[in-house]
Amino acid sequence: MVWEWVPRNVDRIVELLGEHLLLSLVPVLIALVFAVPLGWLANRSAPARAVLIPASGLLYTIPSLALFVMLPGVLGTQIKSPVNVIVALTIYTVALLVRTIADALAAVPSMVVAAATAMGFKPARRFVSVELPLAVPVLVAGLRVATVANISLVSVGALIGLGGLGGLFTDGYQRNIPSEILTGIVLTVLLALLADAVLLAAGRFATPWDRARRSGA
C-alpha cells in the first residue's frame, strides 16, 4: 500500500473533512428547528399525529441516493449543488426527530405538567422550561442516531460527485490507491464516533437532574 499518499494530500483531506462536516451537520441544525414544533404538534393533536407520523415513516423509506438525484428536479438546483444533499439529509433528520420528539413529549409525566400549570406556568413557558427539558434525553438519543446516519450517508453522495470524504472513495477507486480509501473510511468512522460522543456529553450536560440520579443510584 502506498502510504505516502496521506502526507502528500493533507490539504485535500482537510478540505473534504470540512465539506463532510458541513454536509452532515447543517441538516441536523436545520432539522431541529423544524422538528421541535412539528413534534409538539404531533403530540398535541391527534389528527396532526395521524398525518405526521406515517408521513415521516414514508419519507424515511426513500433511499438517500435516490433523493439526492431527484431533488434537483424538484428544487431546480444543479445536480452537483450541495443544497441537494443538505435538503435530503434535513428531510431524513426531520422525519426521524418528529417521531422522537412526539414520543418524548408524550412520555413527560402528566403530573409534572399539571404541577407546572398549577404553579402558574403559561403553556408556552411550560413547554420551553418544563416539557422540553424533560424530553432532552430522548431528543439527544434521536439526534445521535440522525447524526451518525448523516455522516455515513454523505459519502454516498460521492457517486454523484459530491460527498465530502466520500470523494476519497471514488478518487481512490479510479486511481487505485487503497490507502486513500482506507483514510476515508477511518476518518468517517472517527467523525461519527466523535459527533456521537459530543452529543452524548451535551445531553448529560443539559440534564443535570439525570446526572444526580445516576450517581445517586
Partner 1 sequence: MNILAEVMTWLTSGANWTGSSGVPIRVLEHLYYSGLALLLGLVIAVPIGVAVGHTGRGSFLVVGAANGLRALPELGLLILLVLAMGIGLLPVVLALSVLAIPPLLAGTYAGVRNVDRSVVDAARGMGMRESQVLVRVELPNALPLVLGGVRSAALQVIATAAVAAYVSYGGLGRYLIDGLRQQDYAQMASGALLIALLALAVEAVLALLQRAVVSPGLRDGGRRSPTVDVARPAPDSSPTPRTPAPELAGVER
Number of residues that bind partner 1 (CB under 8 A): 59
Q: Does 82 bind partner 1 (CB under 8 A)?
A: no
Q: Which of 136, 34, 40 is nearest to 89 (CA)?
A: 34
CB of 122 vs partner 1, minimal distance in Å: 28
Q: Does 185 bind partner 1 (CB under 8 A)?
A: yes
- Part of the chain binding partner 1 (CB under 8 A), chosen from 32-40, 98-106, 125-133, 207-215: 98-106
Whether 207 contacts 136, CB under 8 Å? yes
Which residues 38-57 are close enough to bind partner 1 by CB under 8 A? 56-57
Q: Does 165 bind partner 1 (CB under 8 A)?
A: yes
Scan for cell 405526521, then name that residue.
52
Distance of CA 115 to the CA centre of its chain: 33
Exactly one of 44, 63, 125, 198 binds partner 1 (CB under 8 A); that residue is 63
C-alpha cell of 27? Answer: 441538516
Q: Which of 106, 89, 90, 91 is nearest to 41 (CA)?
A: 106
Site string for partner 1, 114-143 (x = CB under 8 A): -----------------------xx--xx-
Nearer to partner 1, 86 or 143 (CB): 143
Q: Does 207 bind partner 1 (CB under 8 A)?
A: no
Exactly one of 43, 64, 84, 90 binds partner 1 (CB under 8 A); that residue is 64
Q: Does 105 bind partner 1 (CB under 8 A)?
A: no
Residues engaged in binding partner 1 (CB under 8 A) = 56-58, 60-70, 72-73, 79, 95-96, 99-100, 103-104, 107, 137-138, 141-142, 144-145, 148-149, 151-152, 155-156, 158-161, 163, 165-166, 168-170, 172-173, 176, 178, 181-182, 184-185, 188-189, 192-193, 196
